[in-house]
Structure 1
Amino acid sequence: ILTTPDADQALRAELESKIRELLIQHPDSGELKVAIVVGISDENLENDTASPSATMLSRKGELIQVNFQNMSWAAPYLDDNRVANRPETPSEVVALGDVVYIAEPDLAVDHPEYASSWTLGQLPEVSGALISMEPTTGAIQSLSGGFDYYVSKYNRVEQAQRQPGSNIKPFIYAAAIDNGYTPASLISGAPIVIQDTNQGTVWRPENYSGKFFGPTRIRRALSLSLNLVSVRILRALGIQPTIDFLEKMGIERDGMPNGLSLALGAGTLSPMDMAGAYNVLANGGTRTTPHIIDWIEDAHGNIVEQQVLKTACRHCEALIRQGNQLVTGLTGAALIDDKAIASELLESQATQSSNDKLIKTETASDQLSVEEASTQEPISDVSPNNELLNLNILSLSEAPLEPLEPITEFRQTPIYSSQAMNPVTNYLITDVMKDVVRQGTATRALQLGRTDLAGKTGTTNDFIDAWFSGFNNHTMTSVWVGFDQPRSLGNSESGARAALPIWIDYMSTATAGQPNTALEKPDTIVSRQINKTTGKLTSALDPNGFSEIFPAKSAPSAQPTPAPADDAGAIRPSFTPQESSSQDDLF
């Protein structure tokens, strides 16, 4: 009736009305539009001039044709690990009366084969999250907490608590480098058995590939994401010192396990937490505050509130005065090296002209010392993690407070973030992570044609969570894929397969036009020619040699003798790392 031009018009109108009432029960989802299948043609192009297709009726009453080539992807689902053979006709995909989602032609710009007609779409059961930040400031450039806000208002970037898997390994390896290991340090990749005497259980960690390796350089171990090497590194460093290191990166210790499974990412954190930690790697080792809002203006263009990036103060809080109120920027507490500088900051803010200051400072008669102000209780209860400037107001008199004047100028003086990771450690681990892209688990990212990318895949047991987090100097992006109610994504749905393609698709646009630039190399890093197998110094004539980077104080200057391996299989550096306690050896 609907597809025949000479059909009874009254009957046609009645049927269209009932179909539209049915479609109202199924809302559109973003770019996907709801339609109902009203016609199917399985004719073969070789025997007929008609193309195999299905006809859909949209919510607006439009008849839309979807060619078979634009629905041939829809192989029937069998289970989490299998689909049936690809369909050969439209009737194997849809049936009359099916309510389906279709995508408009202009949404297929990147796929020329679909650009001429509508395509069959699908609401995914699987969920995901993407967050991208500017490394220097922590400004959030993109954030997607799910497929469609109107389908699910659950923001997975901030609210989902997931296991990071191997996505956490760069920080385990960075902790090792920070404690004297180098990218050339050899760690045993042999099988290991860990006993929990309290629970009477035994843990036998394995590599993703199921294979075992001999002594392996740290650089190669991270690029191949070798679990056994990671476990041995953590065992040698100690669990609590490693958790302390992770906490400096912004990873909450409450979500981390007190066991060696930490080395494989058995804790929980949000994609926002993971992105914040990776941003430390991307910007050279400093903590920044992820934020969306830079400033807020009123209707007249006056800035009434402005973001203060996380800064540092070892000895004091930077005090700012406005009118007859004294305010402390807790999220912007500057890490200043001594009290004299803090006092100087206060004095300079009190004497700056109105065109050079963020907000007014107090008069000389009202000014409090750093020590006096730090002992005052703030009137307002504002979380230190508030994204906007915290105004914890200290009353200077019993008189009514004057209204705050609008902020009309930006702060002229830079505010610096605290250094969370040693710049040498940061440079070394970032260079090692570039090998993950060049020759490790993320080689697919080479299609972007860039030389400045570093990152790490992450996959949890049974393929429940898939991650890829990566960056260059200009953009840091982290991607997570998984089900909201944790279950397997399916065999082989690793971070490299499920999350990395999303990261590549986003970064292909985000990095367009960006120059290939590298982190500034610290002066204390030197290069040495070493053997790939032994990790020892070798000559330039060695066919198995390559140039490795070292901290100058740890660089080999003569042919070294083999260091004894400890009972965990880790070959010790020249100094002795902190030993783990007996409790740290428990799973």
Structure 2
Amino acid sequence: MKFLKYLLLTLLTLIIFGLGSVVALYYYVKPELPSVETLRDVRLQIPMQVFTADGKLISQFGEQRRIPLTLDEIPQQLKDAILATEDSRFYEHFGVDPIGVARAFSVLITTGSIREGASTITMQLARNFFLTRERAWMRKVKEAFIAIHIEQLLSKDEILELYLNKLALGHRAYGVGAAAEVYYGRSLDELTLAEIATISGLPKGPSILNPISNPPASVERRRIVLRRMLDEGYISEEAYQVAYDAPVTARLHGATIEVSAPYLAEMVRHEMVERFGAEQAYTSGYRVYTTVESKHQLAAEKAVRDNLHAYDERHGYRGPVNRLWGEFTASEEADQQQQNLINPETMAIPENRGVEPWSAEEITAYLSRQPMYGPLHPAVVTEVGEQSAVILVREGVAGASEVELDWAALDWARPYIDESTQGEAPQQASDILRAGDHIWVRRPQPDAPYKLAQIPGPSSALVAMHPNNGALAAVVGGYSFQMSQYNRALQAERQVGSTIKPFIYAAAIEDGYTLATIMNDAPITQWNPGSGSAWRPRNSPEVYDGPIRLRKALARSKNVVSVRLIRSVGVDRTADFMQQFGFEAGDIPRNESLSLGSASFTPLELTRGFAVFANGGYLVEPHFVARIEDVNGEVLEVANPVQTCADCVLQDLYENWWEHELPQAPRVLSEQTAFLVSDALTSAVWGGGSWPNQTGWNGTAWRAQTLRNRNISGKTGTTNDVNDAWFVGYGSGLVVSTWVGFDNLEYSLGRASLNPNLGRDRQPIVGSEAGATTALPGWIDFMQVAMEDFAFDPFDLPTDIVSVRIDDKTGKLSNQSDYTSLFEYFISGTEPTEFVDVEGNSPRLFEDDDDELF
């Protein structure tokens, strides 16, 4: 009894001492303990996501990939796996597991080393939020105290939910939802037991146990998780065995991008950082919905790429990217140098290049390291026949496939000599390819066979805008964002050529001219005493029609008429007038070359300027963010664009964006002038005159007739030496601009001769490149899709606009009702009052007085 008494006293003393020590230790570390009240309002770092207007994911930005899930959204099997592996008594302890602590202590006593950490899920949560992973006794003490506090503050389910969403699981995946996407490209509820067990094993060592970096270690860890699940009764023996033997199926998956629009995504990223700062933009889980519909954006991307490939194919083949075996001939070396000159993207010569052909395994390994740009797939030629070739082509992550290229896939590839010269058309495949060539191939359509391709030499951009509110409907900044992040739609200030002329004509109409005014389409030579040289603006082509009505002069893009108009109106007055369309004063040259398009604007700026004509005279602000939501889908911000009219109806696709009255856009041009310019630009597409009576004529944009819509207005543009090609076309519901040109201003777009292998059917564009032949075809391709959804109705006839019958040649009133006359629109009070002289007297010309001819 005495011994028992001393034993109990000793135990009591130890308990009191232990409790006292714990209390003392708590007060000792208390000043260093963080407040866990923040867990009540915890904000996990969630990446920003960017969507199309119809809810398709374009991109996401953020250091951490995270898909927050509620506990109910997480499969029970995954919760079982985590509990079995990390903390089987989670729902029984108070944040610290005494049994686990005792077990870890006994292991320490018996082995002399720390082999078990005894950390509960709550303790791990405390460490993940407030502490480091430093292996120290004091950290463990703090971890335990914080865990006990957390258990007092949150329920067990809340703790488990936070834990599963906070876990770092490797490859920038945070939380089990993101891990499922990163490793398997699927959501949690779509995973197999083996895949769930793999993810559940990651918390112990996400960098060394993940199935991508270390598959063998991942398998061993997966099997440990499965054994714990079996021991806890969560799975059957049969399910255990199936998952135990399952192969490793994980591979790295990016975000599930539904619509590739990287230039648009980068525009959104930049704007969000400007608004909220980088840290908040990247971690707050913002969901940004753009003004762009997926259908139109995909059509724009395809139109730009197909148009560039069409240009490139008519100018010839620049040779292979590389040769894996065999040597280059002298001419092939020159071809490769030309390829690298036009496309600075260079390929390193493989170390094992030699004479002997490579094996299929070596080729596949080589191709797996090569990039893919949009529709372009890297391939290697393995065999060349008479008019065919066999290649191994990389197809995504699925390795390489053997494909035969037939003659129709190769016959375009005559040699490229320079931008204006092509070699002889090939007669057999060996004229084009050799075994060992590293080449590019593409599919023109998703189900079409592959054809030989190359990275296009020039670049391109496309901008589509709603004229009534400035919302972008599509934007493409180049062939491939992966190749070049330079956004030509927003950043490339290029000379606009003849697309400037509608603004010159608008200034003239505001100055009293009419579409029936007769100007002299004749050569101009102006002597400049200061420079001792003459300025001779010329038409392109160099054809002069003499007296010509302004409508016809604009539609046929007569340069000398544009020069005469700016002289009459005045250069300074015209330059000031153009600022009303949103152009910066510093970008508008104040000399007569302005009339020929020497000003440099971006495609977005030019689209905005043309929108003034399309919407009846209002200046709108371009925008591409429709609304911003938080991570829970609550709307934080809605676009508030200016609109052209208080009661006009938006396109059906967008009518639910705005629930408030939008501010009125400022009027910068009279409705009458906007209508007259737009109507005149329909003649650039449809021409005029009478073809049966041999007076018919085409406008420069006649190829757009293929769209079969009489309400399309448009203007082509080509700069000196064909460095830039433009087309801007529009209707009542959409304005679209396309630009094509080399990033390197030293290169001209050149000209192309007819390839006899293709004929006119497969190569409809022959001769000099220009706005009508280089930019317009891409515009047409896009519009064939866009016109299904956007209005191209006749422009509303403004008040004070009258229509009278005039004589085709003189612009005077006419009583004739045959092909010699036509109806023309005038601002009321400016219509002609004099009838045409049936005797055939010459029309009155508006001439400038300062021509000096010599």
**TM-score normalized by structure 1?**
0.73
Aligned match of 1:112: none
Distance 1:54 1:18, change over 3 A: closer
Q: Among 423, 448, 472, which residue is 1:84 paired with?
A: 423
CA distance in 2, matches of 1:409, 1:565: 50
**C-alpha offsets along residues 265-312 of structure 1, whole Å, 9 cap, x if unaligned?**
011111111111011111111111111101111122222122221479
Residue 92 (structure 1) shift:
1.6
The one-letter code of the counterpart of 1:102 is V
CA distance in 2, matches of 1:465, 1:410: 38
Distance 1:84 1:566, change over 3 A: closer
Residue 21 (structure 1) shift:
4.4
The one-letter code of the counterpart of 1:94 is L
Distance 1:568 1:518, change over 3 A: farther
**C-alpha offsets along residues 56-87 of structure 1, whole Å, 9 cap, x if unaligned?**
34361321222221121212112211222322
Q: Among 663, 687, 706, which residue is 1:415 paired with?
A: 663
Aligned match of 1:489: 749
Residue 24 (structure 1) shift:
4.8
Aligned match of 1:190: 522
The one-letter code of the counterpart of 1:484 is D
The one-letter code of the counterpart of 1:422 is S
Residue 495 (structure 1) shift:
0.3
The one-letter code of the counterpart of 1:413 is E
Aligned match of 1:167: 499
Residue 437 (structure 1) shift:
0.3
Aligned match of 1:68: 407
CA distance in 2, matches of 1:564, 1:519: 30
Aligned match of 2:673: 425
Say whether the 8 Å CA contact 1:466–1:480 is kept in structure 2. yes
1:208 to 2:547 alignment: no
Matches within 5 A, 1:385-534: 410-439=658-687, 440-486=699-745, 487-491=747-751, 492-512=768-788, 514=790, 516-534=792-810
Aligned match of 1:221: 553
Distance 1:144 1:25, change over 3 A: same
CA distance in 2, matches of 1:61, 1:25: 12
Say whether the 8 Å CA contact 1:232–1:569 is kept in structure 2. no
CA distance in 2, matches of 1:185, 1:238: 18
Distance 1:180 1:471, change over 3 A: same
1:23 to 2:364 alignment: no
CA distance in 2, matches of 1:304, 1:231: 51
Matches within 5 A, 1:26-425: 26-42=370-386, 52-58=388-394, 60-104=399-443, 107-108=444-445, 115=447, 117-310=449-642, 410-425=658-673
Residue 201 (structure 1) shift:
2.7
**Structure having the higher Rg:** 2
Greater relative CO (CA pairs within 8 A, separation 6+): 1
CA distance in 2, matches of 1:195, 1:257: 20
Say whether the 8 Å CA contact 2:806–2:814 is kept in structure 1. yes
Higher mean Cα deviation, 247-256 or 431-440?
247-256
**C-alpha offsets along residues 84-104 of structure 1, whole Å, 9 cap, x if unaligned?**
232222222211111111224
Residue 449 (structure 1) shift:
1.1
Say whether the 8 Å CA contact 1:457–1:496 is kept in structure 2. yes
Say whether the 8 Å CA contact 2:510–2:673 is kept in structure 1. yes
Higher mean Cα deviation, 16-25 or 455-464?
16-25
CA distance in 1, matches of 2:613, 2:449: 44
CA distance in 2, matches of 1:25, 1:126: 26
Residue 205 (structure 1) shift:
0.6
The one-letter code of the counterpart of 1:520 is D
The one-letter code of the counterpart of 1:176 is A
The one-letter code of the counterpart of 1:54 is V
Aligned match of 2:110: none
Residue 559 (structure 1) shift:
3.0
CA distance in 2, matches of 1:116, 1:254: 48
The one-letter code of the counterpart of 2:465 is M
**Which 5+ residue runs of structure 2 have no aligned equivalent?**
1-355, 647-655, 688-698, 752-767, 838-842
**C-alpha offsets along residues 15-46 of structure 1, whole Å, 9 cap, x if unaligned?**
33432443355311112111111111216xxx
How many percent of aligned residue pairs carry the same amino acid? 35
CA distance in 1, matches of 2:641, 2:575: 25
Higher mean Cα deviation, 255-264 or 533-542?
533-542
SS in 2 for 1:117: coil
Higher mean Cα deviation, 228-237 or 19-28?
19-28
SS in 2 for 1:427: helix
CA RMSD, 1 decimal: 2.6
Aligned match of 2:756: none
CA distance in 2, matches of 1:199, 1:567: 22
CA distance in 2, matches of 1:409, 1:193: 55
The one-letter code of the counterpart of 2:708 is G
Distance 1:137 1:425, change over 3 A: same
Structure 1 runs, 4 residues or longer, greater than 6 Å off: none
Say whether the 8 Å CA contact 2:640–2:662 is kept in structure 1. no
Distance 1:410 1:459, change over 3 A: closer
Distance 1:121 1:153, change over 3 A: same
CA distance in 1, matches of 2:800, 2:665: 22
CA distance in 2, matches of 1:535, 1:436: 18
**Which 5+ residue runs of structure 1 have no aligned equivalent?**
1-11, 44-51, 110-114, 313-333, 336-407, 571-584
Higher mean Cα deviation, 158-167 or 70-79?
70-79
Residue 490 (structure 1) shift:
0.4
CA distance in 2, matches of 1:555, 1:250: 30
Distance 1:450 1:410, change over 3 A: closer
**C-alpha offsets along residues 364-385 of structure 1, whole Å, 9 cap, x if unaligned?**
xxxxxxxxxxxxxxxxxxxxxx
Distance 1:229 1:96, change over 3 A: same
Aligned match of 2:175: none
Distance 1:410 1:429, change over 3 A: closer
Say whether the 8 Å CA contact 1:137–1:288 is kept in structure 2. yes
The one-letter code of the counterpart of 2:408 is Q
SS in 2 for 1:254: helix
Q: Identify the structure with the greater helix proportion.
A: 2
The one-letter code of the counterpart of 2:712 is L
The one-letter code of the counterpart of 1:58 is R
The one-letter code of the counterpart of 1:75 is R
Distance 1:237 1:560, change over 3 A: farther
Say whether the 8 Å CA contact 2:725–2:775 is kept in structure 1. yes
**C-alpha offsets along residues 318-354 of structure 1, whole Å, 9 cap, x if unaligned?**
xxxxxxxxxxxxxxxx99xxxxxxxxxxxxxxxxxxx
Say whether the 8 Å CA contact 1:236–1:568 is kept in structure 2. no
